[in-house]
Amino acid sequence: MALSLNPPLADLAADAAAALRENFGVEANLTAAAPGRVNLIGEHIDYCDGFVLPFAIDRYIVIAAHANGTRQVRIGSAHQSPAVFDVSQPLEIGEPKWSNYIRGVIRGFQDRGHQIPGFDAWIVSSVPLGAGLSSSAALECATATLLEGLLDTVLDTREKALLAQKAEHDFAGVPCGIMDQFASAFGKANRLVLIDCQTGEPELVPFENPDLTVLIANTMVHHELSDGGYAARRRHTEEGLAIIGKSSWRDVTMAEVLTLWDALDEPINRRSRHVVGEIERTIEAAKALASNQFEALGPLMAASHDSLRDDFEVSCKELDLMVQIARDIGRSGGVIGARMTGGGFGGSTVTLCESGKAAHIAATLAAEYEKATGIKPEIFASRPSQGAHLV
Ligand code: GLA
């Protein structure tokens, strides 16, 4: 079967508890889960005061933990070397590298004045790593939720998401926007998380039509370019805004970008065209969804992908191919729209399609992609799911 299944959250929690028992000899008395996300539209504009339209997917990072009565944290997971550190002092960046997402979140709680108790923990994940589906935001939000449980406190959801984002900035060195952590923290079953990134206001938009399915296709490629590429794109947008002379992209029109085209120069002019166009497309998409006009999403998703490929230059040949296969299947084959999703330079595509044809579409995407690249993609469907919570 081409569609891979989403393991039930209860199974992930049971696996994490069993591994905790096996590796640390203790019973889990606290388990936190946080999902990855997929973005329907609004790409690379969360750091430009834009609108974005992601949802929390039915793929989770689960952490099972046991307070150990010391000031030491010990965390393991199946595919990483274990992390051990002392929480009696403010945490800094350290080894192993993956532990920095956790260190950064703990530091955020320390900075709020909390004394962090030591704990043993085991991490289990169904969010594919490096697939543009925000496994890092899921790890940050799961850690924050676990700490809420350990400290018997509850943060305001926005504060929690911003704390997680700060961990990503300061401890992982990625100058990300707010989309991923907001989607992971605010996500709800059957709701998209429409985020106004200027005000930081998330709005939950119903998405529960059973005739519609969202397919996520992981190309299984991750280009190294992504390391500096994301920061470079963000810098380009800042340079563009400075040349245009406005304080927010929300106040910039397409006419202004085109008038200033030569002054903006290559590639800032094309980056600017993407930002303004993508903000317009996302507003249109949200309006269309509010009035149940799903068909309108097709052309908007197509234009979004083309703009990310040509103007923002964050796509890659594998993403383009996966999108092209969906385009070739076309509306008559049940595809409403397809585009790359997330930061790009590899990762996943999102395909909105008719539910009755989803399995066949997934099979075609998998077969054609493998035929052309020799790579077996991972394809799954997800409905909008519950955000970070204690299990
Ligand atoms: C990554 C970042 C997000 C966002 C997307 C692109 O996922 O973490 O903040 O910028 O890329 O839309």
- pTM (predicted TM-score): 0.97
Residue 42, ligand 1, Cβ within 6 A: no
- Expressed in angstroms and rounded, the spacing between residue 341 Cα and the centre of ligand 1 is 9
Which amino acid, one-letter code, is at 18?
Answer: A
Is 123 a residue whose pLDDT tops 70?
yes
CA 8 to chain centroid, in Å, comes to 20
Residue 382's pLDDT band, with cuts at 50, 70 and 90, is: very high
Closest atom of ligand 1 to CA, residue 39: 12
When pLDDT is averaged across residues 152-171 and rounded to a whole number, the result is 98
Q: Calculate helix-pair angle for 135-151, 100-111, nearest 10 degrees.
A: 40
- Expressed in angstroms and rounded, the spacing between residue 175 Cα and the centre of ligand 1 is 9
pLDDT at position 1 is 65
CA angle 70, 74, 76 (to 5 degrees): 160
Residue 347, ligand 1, Cβ within 6 A: no
pLDDT at position 21 is 98
Helices (H), ranges, 112-244: 135-151, 157-172, 179-186, 226-244
When pLDDT is averaged across residues 141-152 and rounded to a whole number, the result is 98
Which amino acid, one-letter code, is at 2?
Answer: A
Is 131 a residue whose pLDDT tops 60?
yes
Torsion of Cα atoms, 66 then 90 then 153 then 169, to 10°: -100
Give, for 360, the enclosing helix (H) or strand (E). helix 358-373
Is 224 a residue whose pLDDT tops 90?
no
Residue 2's pLDDT band, with cuts at 50, 70 and 90, is: confident
Q: Tens of pLDDT along 229-275?
A: 999 999 999 999 999 999 999 999 999 999 999 999 999 999 999 99
Give nearest CA residue, ligand 1 atom 1.
Answer: 343
Residue 381, ligand 1, Cβ within 6 A: no
Which amino acid, one-letter code, is at 262?
Answer: D
Positions marked catalytic: 180
Residue 223's pLDDT band, with cuts at 50, 70 and 90, is: confident
Residue 43, ligand 1, Cβ within 6 A: yes
Residue 226's pLDDT band, with cuts at 50, 70 and 90, is: low
Closest atom of ligand 1 to CA, residue 314: 6
- Expressed in angstroms and rounded, the spacing between residue 152 Cα and the centre of ligand 1 is 31
Closest atom of ligand 1 to CA, residue 43: 12
pLDDT at position 372 is 98
Omega before residue 267 within 30° of 0, cis: yes
- Is there a contact between 237 and 47 (Cβ–Cβ < 8 Å)? yes
Q: Tens of pLDDT along 31-49?
A: 999 999 999 999 999 999 9
Tokens (6 digits) for 23: 């590796």
Residue 204's pLDDT band, with cuts at 50, 70 and 90, is: very high
Average pLDDT score, the chain: 97
Report the range of poorest mean pLDDT among 40-49, 186-195, 220-229, 290-299: 220-229
